[in-house]
Amino acid sequence: RPRIIQTAKASGAVGRWQLFAPENCSAAETLRESLAKTETNGVIVFLPKKPSLENISQLLEAGKTVLLQEKGSRFVVVQNGWGGSGFAKTLHLENPGVNVCVLNFPVARLLAVEEIVAEVLANNGFIEVHFTEAGRRLEPHLQLAEFSPPETKSKFYMGTEDVLLVTGGGKGIAAECALAFARETGVKLALVGRSDPKTDKELADNLARITAAGVRSSYVRADVTDAKAVRAAVAKIDRELGPVTAVLHGAGMNTPQLISALDAAAFQKTVAVKISGAENILAAVDAEKIKMFVTFGSIIARTGLPGEADYATANEWLAALTDKFSTQHPRCRCLTLEWSVWSGAGMGERLGRIESLTQQGITPITVDEGVRVFCELVRQSFKVTSLVVTGRFGTPPTLTMLEPELPLRRFLERQRVFYPSVELVVDTELSLPADPYLADHVVQKQPLFPAVMGLEAMAQVAMALTGSTVAPTFENVEFLRPVAVGEKNKTTIRIAALRRDDGRVNVCLRSEETDFQVDHFRAVCLFAGEDEKVSASVRPSSILHPPSSSASIALNPQTDLYGRILFHTGRFCRLRGYQVLKAKECVAEITADDSAQWFGPYLPMEFVLGNPAARDAALHAIQACIPHLRILPTGMERLEIFHHETGTRFVHAKERSRDGNNFIYDVEITNGCGEIIECWRGLKLRAVETIAHSAAWPDVLLAPYLERRLEEFATRTPVRFALTRSLHAERPAGTDAVIQRALGTALRVQRRPDGKPFVAGGETVSAAHANDFTLAVASNDDVACDLEEISARTENVWRDLLGNETFRLTQRLAREPSGSVDAAATKLWSVLECLKKIGLPVTTPLVMDLKTDDGWWLLRSGETTIATCAVTVRGNKLPLVVAVASRPQKISQTLKIKSFALAPARI
């Protein structure tokens, strides 16, 4: 029996200690005397052997004793691995002023007095320590379990011939898990509990659900703490269903009380349901036939919880019992699942504690998620017999995760939540002094956090979570809303990363602008081995040809794009030129100038994804393909970064599809040798506003502009444009080259006797000239184009050229705002030229179908449409009028006559 030793301060002693230990334990008395010589007060609980229900009185009285002592007293539990940990943790949480030590020693070293005294004197708060046989000191930490592949149904060791005995009264989380497991495996369920389904509606409903699911089952009433009743229940199960081959022990009781109010009888009753219940079940069944023994514990055994000293102790002892049974029966799959609180079922729901626990940072497990996890875990084998299954469990001082130190990176500023290998949440404050690049990324006077920097931030957090040194591959990237830096030129962003069961990491970025309640950016990160990245990087480009240093287009991005259709400044101005520029395809050269200062003093400068400005310039390159609309990225299907390079690189971009204002591109970024550095699949862009062009168009941008505008309102079949400006182009060879550019192929251009060009293959082409400009169009429809300068002519000249009816229309159109007779007449002249080229008479009646704010006219005659507009081109004194006519190609049909018949004529 335990004895209580109370001593006054001996001569020369400075402390007062009380010992709770077995009788005749002189070594424990030696320990007490050693502690009494220190300037400390407290209580020692000595548990040298397997704890039993008798130890409950000892634990409880020791706890109440220390509560009567002055603040700062110490509570010390010395044990062989387990017994009083859960109680001690709860004691500390209920009374933080008590310093608590839980010291675990092997049997041979239980009385290591010097080590115990050293730990007691060093502790200030709570500490739990384990010592090995060799004297090595260890502290317990949670870490992510190592999972094996789940066994398939065909290989699983349990099936329709097995009987799973479930304690817990046919209710709560054990019943939910058992039902799901039975559905998956076909096992028969033997439910044991005290309730009567005639008077317990919840139990009756559950039994009805089990029957409706087609699961063969039996419910037997018995109190698991009554050994005789359990034996009778097992005998009945054996007769009705067959011998028990698996046990799920989910029975438990929980009546929260503080230690100061708890009595020994209530304490013993709580422990008995878990421990005596398990022992009675195992004694009643044939233990050698048991294939699976699963017990439901609680994370409270690991953390403690105010008001749960007895419940914590019961679950701690249950885990030890399961581990012992596993050692004695190595062929049985044994597992203790130490659950966190469930919502919708279980103790926490029944006690109404979900809301209060949530306020403490504890995330409940949903019924669906808990059941799914249970079915997955029991199909796997583990090196340990106890697993903690939990959502967030706050930051209790009694349990810690094994946290590696986070890398020193810009976007890992303040750690908020960190469950290593599971979840990481960090905050970072953005400001102009700390993030000067924001001043180079301003839209409508508002600094915006760049999407490419968002990718960098999400990558830094995902890599810190997984411990990877290799940049991730991104999937399902979404840029849902911009992150704006507030009026005070600072804002806080929050990046959260959560690892999934398949190893992928879900990452999102939020902002205080929306109270951290909505995702601004999000993505899925995949981590591959270093070898995969290296091997992939040497693949040749699959979108376009390798870049050629000799090919270039007369477009200066610094003067023609930045400040005009691109809002970026400073660090982000990395476009250097184009080799290919079409409405739906481009090859651009960019530079990765790495000398720029991206962050403020004393902040880490390393980028895990490489230079963000070079990546952003890939988006700038595409903007020139859509020069009249400002486009912003909204996401991408996949982004792979194979390796980082400095110096020149090339962007290869090709449009996959367009739907209104939404565009999808595939992009590859290569070095000068054509090796892929980055690969973007399904880059999603959205046009957010029209770009006003007050200045003259660079002629290189004119063809993409015309093609884009025409597809927006004029034709069902795309018309491809090419425009060349050359003072020395020889015709027809020069014209043929422009037509081939519009076709996108080097097909031979031939001409009919009337001079109209054509090519083999079914596509139609047309060309026109004005001054030193050559315009060509190509389409699967019949197509024609014209190009004219707007020059001043008298009304008589225009009337002679257009005819009276057309000239009267010219005069009406010229009266509109910003209209002129010469501009309107030139447009109509170009329309007539297109009609002639497409094979229609100039007298064909036309209907004005559409007039746009930017000066486009759309005329229609039957299935033929003609679009025309006037544009100002840089370097040309007079504006140019462009007109394009198109109509569906006619398919000739031959009437096949099978037979003739003669009939008499009728008058």
Residue found by looking up tokens 């930017």 in the block: 854
Residue 158, classed as helix, strand or coil, is coil
Please state whether the predicted TM-score (pTM) of the whole model is above 0.85: no
Q: Which of 4-18, 183-197, 841-855 is most confident?
A: 183-197
d(CA 126, CA 791): 91
Any idea how long the chain is? 907
Please tell me the least confidently modeled range out of 187-196, 354-363, 459-468.
Answer: 354-363
Q: Is the CB of residue 176 less than 8 Å from the CB of residue 370?
A: yes
Contacts of 897 (CB under 8 A, 6+ apart): none
Long-range contacts of 486-489 (CB under 8 A, 24+ apart): 486/513, 489/431, 489/432, 489/438, 489/447
Give me 771's structure tokens: 């001054």
pLDDT at 93: 95
Give me 870's structure tokens: 């006037």
Nearest CA to 494 out of 471, 461, 465, 463 is that of 461
pLDDT at 451: 94
Residue 173, classed as helix, strand or coil, is helix
Q: What is the mean pLDDT of residues 885-897?
A: 60
State what percent of residues in the chain have pLDDT above 70: 90
Gyration radius of the chain's alpha carbons: 40
DSSP symbols for 35-47? HHTSS-EEEEEEE
State what percent of residues in the chain have pLDDT above 90: 55
Beta strands in 29-162 (DSSP E): 41-47, 74-79, 99-104, 126-131, 137-138
pLDDT at 890: 65
Q: What is the mean pLDDT of residues 102-113?
A: 80
Side-chain half-sphere exposure of 482, counting CA atoms within 13 A? 17
pLDDT at 350: 58
Nearest CA to 564 out of 472, 395, 670, 697 is that of 697
pLDDT at 548: 52
Using CB atoms within 10 Å of the CB of residue 896, give its burial: 0 to 12 exposed, 13 to 18 middle, 19+ buried: exposed
Other Cβ atoms within 10 Å of 219 Cβ, number: 21
Question: How do residues 695-709 score in pLDDT, each as one tens digit?
Answer: 788 889 999 999 999
Q: What share of the chain is helix, strand, coil (3-state, %, to 5)?
A: 30, 30, 40
Residue-wise over 777-803: b if at least 16 C-beta within 10 A, else e? bbbbbbbbbbbbebeebeeeebbeebe
Contacts of 46 (CB under 8 A, 6+ apart): 19, 20, 21, 22, 25, 28, 31, 78, 79
What residues are paired with 720 via a beta bridge?
Answer: 778
d(CA 753, CA 756): 8
Q: What is the mean pLDDT of residues 279-294?
A: 96
Main-chain phi, psi angles of 145, to 5 degrees: -70, 150
Residue 876 scores a pLDDT above 90: no
pLDDT at 359: 63
Nearest CA to 457 out of 503, 507, 392 is that of 507
pLDDT at 10: 35
Q: How many whole angstroms from its chain centre is CA 188?
A: 40
pLDDT at 481: 94
Q: Is the CB of residue 302 less than 8 Å from the CB of residue 338?
A: yes
Question: How do residues 818-844 score in pLDDT, each as one tens digit?
Answer: 678 888 899 999 999 999 999 899 888
Using CB atoms within 10 Å of the CB of residue 894, give its burial: 0 to 12 exposed, 13 to 18 middle, 19+ buried: exposed
CA 712, 715, 719, 723 torsion-angle sign: negative
pLDDT at 355: 64
pLDDT at 898: 42
Residue 12 scores a pLDDT above 50: no
* Pairwise pLDDT comparison (508 vs 907), residue with the higher score: 508
Using CB atoms within 10 Å of the CB of residue 693, give its burial: 0 to 12 exposed, 13 to 18 middle, 19+ buried: middle
Q: How many whole angstroms from its chain centre is CA 194?
A: 46
Q: Is the CB of residue 339 less than 8 Å from the CB of residue 349?
A: no
With residue 702 as reference, give the H or E element that holds it. Answer: helix 699-713
Q: Is the CB of residue 319 less than 8 Å from the CB of residue 302?
A: no
Strands 41-47 and 16-22: parallel
Question: How do residues 76-103 score in pLDDT, each as one tens digit?
Answer: 999 988 899 999 999 999 999 999 999 9
DSSP symbols for 242-298? ----EEEE-------B-GGG--HHHHHHHHHHHHHHHHHHHHHS-GGG--EEEEEEE
Mean pLDDT, the chain, whole residue set: 86
Beta strands in 674-799 (DSSP E): 676-690, 719-725, 750-751, 757-758, 764-770, 773-779, 782-789
Q: Which of 102-111, 202-211, 393-402 is most confident?
A: 202-211
pLDDT confidence band for 7 (50 / 70 / 90): very low
470: left (phi over 0), alpha (psi -120 to 50) or beta: beta
Q: What is the mean pLDDT of residues 322-336?
A: 95
Q: What is the mean pLDDT of residues 646-675?
A: 91
What residues are paired with 483 via a beta bridge?
Answer: 449
pLDDT at 529: 58
Q: How many whole angstroms from its chain centre is CA 7?
A: 61
Question: How do residues 634-652 score in pLDDT, each as one tens digit?
Answer: 999 999 998 887 778 899 9
Q: What is the mean pLDDT of residues 53-74?
A: 89
Q: Indicate the residue type of 750.
A: Q
Residue 726 scores a pLDDT above 80: no
DSSP letter assigned to residue 141: -
Q: Is the CB of residue 357 less than 8 Å from the CB of residue 341?
A: yes
d(CA 123, CA 131): 16
Nearest CA to 689 out of 635, 646, 732, 626 is that of 626
DSSP symbols for 197-250? TTT-HHHHHHHHHHHHTT--EEEEE--TT-HHHHHHHHHHHHHHT----EEEE-
pLDDT at 907: 34
Which three-class secondary structure string do you get for 556-582? CHHHHCECCCECCCHHHCCEEEEEEEC
Other Cβ atoms within 10 Å of 107 Cβ, number: 10
d(CA 832, CA 838): 10
Residue 870 scores a pLDDT above 60: yes
Please tell me the least confidently modeled range out of 142-151, 453-462, 492-501.
Answer: 142-151
d(CA 214, CA 216): 6
What residues are paired with 248 via a beta bridge?
Answer: 166, 294
Long-range contacts of 65-73 (CB under 8 A, 24+ apart): 65/18, 66/42, 66/91, 66/98, 67/95, 67/98, 67/259, 67/260, 69/41, 69/42, 69/43, 70/41, 71/97, 72/41, 72/97, 72/99, 73/40, 73/41, 73/42, 73/43, 73/98, 73/99
Q: What is the mean pLDDT of residues 141-158?
A: 80
Q: Indicate the residue type of 730.
A: E
Residue 449 scores a pLDDT above 90: yes
* Pairwise pLDDT comparison (418 vs 716), residue with the higher score: 418
pLDDT confidence band for 772 (50 / 70 / 90): confident
Q: Is the CB of residue 555 less than 8 Å from the CB of residue 581?
A: yes
pLDDT confidence band for 541 (50 / 70 / 90): very low
pLDDT confidence band for 345 (50 / 70 / 90): low
Residue 5 scores a pLDDT above 60: no
Other Cβ atoms within 10 Å of 184 Cβ, number: 14
Beta strands in 6-60 (DSSP E): 16-22, 41-47
Residue 533 scores a pLDDT above 50: no
pLDDT at 318: 96
Measured CA distances, 750 to 60, 195, 504, 596 (Å): 102, 94, 56, 54
Contacts of 751 (CB under 8 A, 6+ apart): 732, 757, 758
